[in-house]
Amino acid sequence: MIANRKSSCPSKLNNLSFYSMSKKELKHSNRAYLLLGSNLGNSLLQLEKATRLISNEAGMLKRASSIYSTAAWGNNHQPDFLNQVLVIDTLLTAEKLMQTLLAIETKMGRIRTIKNEARTIDIDLLFYGKTVISSPSLTVPHPLIQERRFVLVPMNALSSGFIHPVFHKTIHQLLKECKDTLAVKKIQPS
């Protein structure tokens, strides 16, 4: 059974509440990579709040990348985004994890109206272990990872050798091949 309790964790993450898993549960958990993004309100606080909610409701936070600033991708007539990649261990299925992430977005005031618009929080499920899922409600790995520097740069900093299960290339290779030219600037170390 999963229980919520305080856990020690490096640097700025030590004030968060984390899921705690028994050794048996940890063996059956799945490693998920998430991308957080925000460009409305106090984006830094939005990322912190999302991280806290994810660690309380979705799984055990293992690592967090630095925070990066990037011009908006796909619709550049809006404020720059702050982005961060989180690594969690979760007992949730990929589908349940996605439902939980969408519920967190809603709880944080995200309203979906226009694609690529400004938002308080965006939480993408990038990878769910090495699992490949293609269903009407979920695609994993996220289908645009290889096209987005704002995903690849923080992902590369955390797991450069992670092999994309569809392209069979490391994150580092995908970053080197990425044609996206948007600058991705580290603003806060992990």
- H helices of the chain, in order, are 23-27, 43-57, 94-107, 149-159, 171-177
Establish if 6 belongs to a structural domain: no
d(CA 100, CA 87): 15
One digit per residue, pLDDT tens: the chain, 190 residues? 333 333 333 344 444 445 566 666 667 789 999 999 999 999 999 999 999 999 999 999 999 999 999 988 766 678 999 999 999 999 999 999 999 999 999 999 887 776 667 789 999 999 999 999 999 999 999 999 999 999 999 999 999 999 999 999 999 999 999 999 999 999 977 6
For residue 180, the model assigns a pLDDT of: 94
Asked if residue 5 is part of any domain, the answer here is no
Residue 128 covered by a domain: yes
Instruction: Check which CATH number belongs to the domain holding 108 and give it.
Output: 3.30.70.560
- Structure pTM? 0.86
What pLDDT is attached to residue 119? 87
In the DSSP assignment, the letter for residue 108 is: T
- 49 domain-assigned: yes
Overall domain count for the chain: 1
Q: Residue 14: what pLDDT?
A: 42
Which residue stretches of 29-179 are H helix?
43-57, 94-107, 149-159, 171-177
Domain that holds residue 29: 17-188
